[in-house]
Chain A
C-alpha cells in the first residue's frame, strides 16, 4: 500500500490553504478533490476578507500565499463601499455600512471561486510537488479506516487503490462526508444552516464602474432586506466582480422550511426589485425569428451567422468596455487603437441590426445559477473539530461568521486550515498523532482564533458601528420591541454593560430575538415605506425559468445516482419538492420521487436522504462559482 504523510480531503479554499501551508512548512501532503478540476464544485457569495483583530491573530490569505496574491490578483474587485438597503416595492432606504465592512479588516475582495481556487491550487501544487505531494482531482473518498492493532489509517476511494496516511485534514465542506464516515457529529440541522442561491450576471466592466460609482478594481457590496425576502429571515446581496455581478439570496433554512419558497423565486424577487434591476441592466441582442420560407440551407446559414456575430459582439464589447481588455486587444496586434475597436463594434452591431434584423433591447444577461448551504458558526461550529487523527476545517467544521450584515466564511476556512496544518506539522515532527498531540492541540488553536470569539460573543465595538449607521432611522419605526434595546445600546457606558449581560446570556438565547422576521422583513419594510426613495425600473427584466437556468449549467452526468431517498413520505421531503434549488424532487401520489439529476450538490436535501457527493469528476461543473 502506498504511504503518504498527510491527506487533505476537499480542494476548496480551506483545503488548498492547508496544502499550501503544509508545503510552506516542508511537509508532504496530497489533496484529494472530487471535481475534475479544483474550483469547479465551489460556490461562494463572494467576498474574501483579510482581518486584523484588535486582540489575537488570524491567518490571512496573504500569510499563506504571500505577495503573489496581490501581484497575480486572482480576485475581482476591492470592496470599498458596503451598503445595506431596506426595500419595499419600489421604495428603497439605504444605510452606509462601509465602516462595518472595514472594521478590523485589511481588505475585502469580491471573488469568484472557480478562478480564485484555481489560482490557489496552482500556488499550492507548485509547492506541494517539490515535496512529493500534490493535488489529485476527480477522486471521491468513500471510507476511512483505522487498523485496530497498529492504528494505521487507510483511505478508500471510488477511483484509486487504498493508501495509508498519518493524518487527515477534512476540508470537504458543509456536507462533509468525512464527518459522516467517522460519525464525529450528526449532519447539520436546518436551524444551523442557511441556504444560499446565487446568479452571476454579466455586465461590462466600465458600466459597472459608472453604475456603482467606483473605479476599475474597486467595487461595491449591497445587501437587501425587506419585502425582497418574501418574508424569510435572511437577505439578498449584490456584489460587483470585474465584469460580472454576483446576485444572491441567503436565508435561514429553518425559515424556508416553515414557509417553503422556491429558491429561484427568492432570486427572482431581487431581480424584480426596480433598484436591483437597474444595476443589472444591459444591452441584449434579440434575434429576429428566422424566415421559414427561406430554403433550409439559407435558414441554417443565417442562424449560424447570427450566432457567431452575437458571440463576437459580446466578446468585443466586453473587451471594449474594459481598460485591460482594450489594452490586451491592442497588444495582440488585432487593433491599433481604442477607436478602431469601437468602430469594429459599431460595424458588427450595424450588421446585426441591418442585415439580420437583430434588435438591441434593455434587459439583463444571466450566466450561472448556483446554490449552497452555509453553516452558521454561532449555532453549529464543532466544539472539538477533530476525530482520532482527522482535523476538520472551515465549512466541514461548521465554522462561518454570520452576524447581521457581517458574513464571512472563506477567511475563516483559511485561518482554520493554517491552524490545522501547523498542528499536523508539529505532530509529524514528533511522529506523534495521539489525540493530545494532534487533535487537542488543533482544537486549542482554533479556540484561540478571534473568529471563534466572533462566533460566541457579541463585539460591542462592532455593534456601535452598526448602531451609528442606523442612527438616522427614527426610533419609533423600530418600535416598542427594539426601542429600549437601541436606546440602551446607543449609550457607550450602557452598551458595555448590556453587551456583557448579553454575552452572559449567550448567543443561543439572544439569537431568536434578533434573527426574526421583525428584523429582516417587517422593520425594513416600515423603514423603506416611511423613508425610502422611490425608484422606477426602466425595463422589465426577462427572468429565465428554472429549466433555462439548469440548461445553462454544465454537468458530467453519472449513470449512478448519488442521492437515495430514505423515506419518500416525510414532511421534510415533501417540502423539498419546493426547496430543492433545481427542483430535483416531485410529488407523485403523495410520494416524493427523484425526478431528475440536475443536482447542483448543495445538500439541501441531505438531512433526510442518503446523500453523497458524486463519484470523481461527476456532477456539476461551475464556470464562475
Chain B
C-alpha cells in the first residue's frame, strides 16, 4: 500500500470553558489571564486525521502558527491524532497577521513537511476569530482542491482518490448531504459535527493501538517538534505578519443584548410554596396546549 500523508493545521485559542476564561471590566476578553488550549474546531480536525491513521495507517503532521506557547496545542493535537511530525511557525514578524498572511505562513510550512501532504485538514473556523477564512486561503495558496463542511470521507489509497460527504444548504433546504469524489491532493475544512466511526474489529484494534501510541508520543512531544522562524521558513517577509495583512481588526463591538420577551421569576427550590406555584404554572401552561 502506498503511503498516505496528512497535514492538520490547528490553532491555539483562548479556553472558553468555565473557570479558564477571564474578562476585562469592559466585557472584552482578558487574554493575559485567560488560559489557552487547542481550539475545539482544531480538535475536530485532528480527530478527522486520526480516522485516516486508523483506516489507512496514514502519516500525520500537525502545524500551527503562533507564539512559543503554541507547542501546547500541538501536543494536545498529537495526543488526539498520533502525529509523527509537529511544526510550529513562530516569529515576532508573524505577529498581527490576518487570515491571508497566516495562510502564507501555513502554505510555506506545509510545503516544508517531510512528505508532500495528500490531504490537509483544518477546523471549521477558529472560536476567537470566527472568520473561517484561513483554511480556504491556505488551500488556494497550496493549489489544493478545497472542500468545506466535510462530515465524512473515504480514501482509495491505490487510485489516489477521495470520496467526501459534505453538508450544504441548498435552495433553502438545510442539511443536504453532497457526495463528491476528487483526486488527491485536497484540502478539507472539517464540519464541527464530524464524528469518526470505526465499524470493524480490526479498526477498533488499530484505534486502541494508535491511541496508546499517541499518548506515549505526546508525553515526549518535543522529540517530534520542529520550530521555524521566518528565515527558516523562507517566506517573503512582505507577505506575512502585519505588513502582509490587507485587513486589520479596527474595532470590536459587543453584540447588543437582545431584548428578553419572557418574564422570568426566581423560585426557591427548597421552599414548598414556591414548588407548588411552579407546578400550578406548569399545569396552566399544559392546559393551554392542544395535545393531538
Contacts and interface: CB of A to CB of B under 8 A. Distances in A.
Interface of A: 2, 4, 30, 125, 129, 132-136, 139, 159-161, 163
B208 A134 contact: yes
B209 interface: yes
B283 interface: no
B201 interface: yes
B208 A160 contact: no
A30 B201 contact: yes
A2 B201 contact: yes
A161 B204 contact: no
A136 B200 contact: no
16 contacts: A2-B201, A30-B201, A30-B205, A125-B208, A129-B208, A129-B209, A132-B205, A134-B205, A134-B209, A136-B201, A136-B205, A159-B199, A160-B204, A161-B200, A161-B201, A163-B201
A160 B200 contact: yes
B202 interface: yes
B198 to A, nearest CB: 8
A2 B208 contact: no
Q: Max chain A CB contacts within 10 Å: which of B201, B204, B205, B212?
A: B201
Contacts, number: 33
A134 B212 CA distance: 12
A155 to B, nearest CB: 9
Contact of A133 (B199, B200, B205): B205
Given A125-B212, A129-B209, A163-B200, 10 more contacts: A2-B202, A30-B205, A129-B205, A129-B208, A134-B208, A136-B204, A136-B205, A139-B204, A160-B201, A161-B201
Contacts of B209: 129, 134
Contacts of A125: 208, 212
Q: Chain B: interface residue count, which band?
A: under 10
Contacts of B202: 2
Nearest to A308: B19
Q: 5 closest Cβ contacts across the A-B interface?
A: A136-B204, A134-B205, A163-B201, A161-B200, A2-B201
Nearest to A133: B205
A163 B203 CA distance: 12
Contacts of A2: 200-202
A93 B138 CA distance: 79
A160 B201 CA distance: 7
Nearest to A126: B212
A129 B202 CA distance: 11
B161 to A, nearest CB: 23
Interface string B190-229: 0000000001111011001100100000000000000000
A161 B200 CA distance: 5
Nearest to A157: B201
B201 to A, nearest CB: 5
Nearest to B202: A2
A241 to B, nearest CB: 27
A160 B205 contact: no
B239 to A, nearest CB: 45
A4 B199 contact: no
Contacts of A135: 208
Interface of B: 199-202, 204-205, 208-209, 212
Contacts of A133: 205
Contacts of B205: 30, 129, 132-134, 136
Contacts of A4: 201
Contacts of B201: 2, 4, 30, 136, 160-161, 163
Nearest to B207: A136
B199 A136 contact: no
Contacts of A139: 204
B79 to A, nearest CB: 17
Contacts of B212: 125
Contacts of A136: 201, 204-205, 208
Nearest to A296: B266
Nearest to A163: B201
B223 to A, nearest CB: 22
Nearest to A304: B19
A300 to B, nearest CB: 12
A159 B198 CA distance: 9
Contacts of A132: 205
A102 to B, nearest CB: 39
A159 B209 CA distance: 19
Q: Max chain A CB contacts within 10 Å: which of B204, B208, B209, B212?
A: B204
A61 B154 CA distance: 44
A160 B200 CA distance: 5
Nearest to B208: A134
B200 to A, nearest CB: 5
Contacts of A161: 199-201
B22 to A, nearest CB: 14
Contacts of B204: 134, 136, 139, 160
Nearest to A30: B201
B186 to A, nearest CB: 27
A556 B209 CA distance: 24
A337 to B, nearest CB: 30
Q: Max chain B CB contacts within 10 Å: which of A2, A160, A161?
A: A160
A280 B125 CA distance: 52
Nearest to A4: B201
A163 B204 CA distance: 13
A133 B201 CA distance: 10
A65 to B, nearest CB: 19
Nearest to A135: B208
A171 B201 CA distance: 19
Nearest to A129: B209
A137 B199 CA distance: 13
Contacts of A134: 204-205, 208-209
Nearest to B206: A134
Contacts of B208: 125, 129, 134-136
A137 to B, nearest CB: 8
B175 to A, nearest CB: 20
A611 B14 CA distance: 46
B206 to A, nearest CB: 9
A134 B205 CA distance: 6
Contacts of A159: 199
A2 B202 CA distance: 8
B207 to A, nearest CB: 9
B10 to A, nearest CB: 26
Nearest to A132: B205
A331 B212 CA distance: 27
A95 B85 CA distance: 65
A428 B176 CA distance: 51
A106 to B, nearest CB: 32
A132 B202 CA distance: 9
B208 to A, nearest CB: 6
Contacts of B199: 159-161
A161 B202 CA distance: 10
Nearest to A134: B205
Contacts of B200: 2, 160-161, 163
A496 B251 CA distance: 95
Contacts of A160: 199-201, 204
A139 B209 CA distance: 17
A237 B164 CA distance: 58
Nearest to A164: B201
B173 to A, nearest CB: 26
Nearest to A136: B204
A125 B200 CA distance: 18
A164 to B, nearest CB: 10
A125 B205 CA distance: 10
A30 B204 CA distance: 10
Contacts of A30: 201, 205
Nearest to B200: A161
Nearest to A289: B270
A347 to B, nearest CB: 22
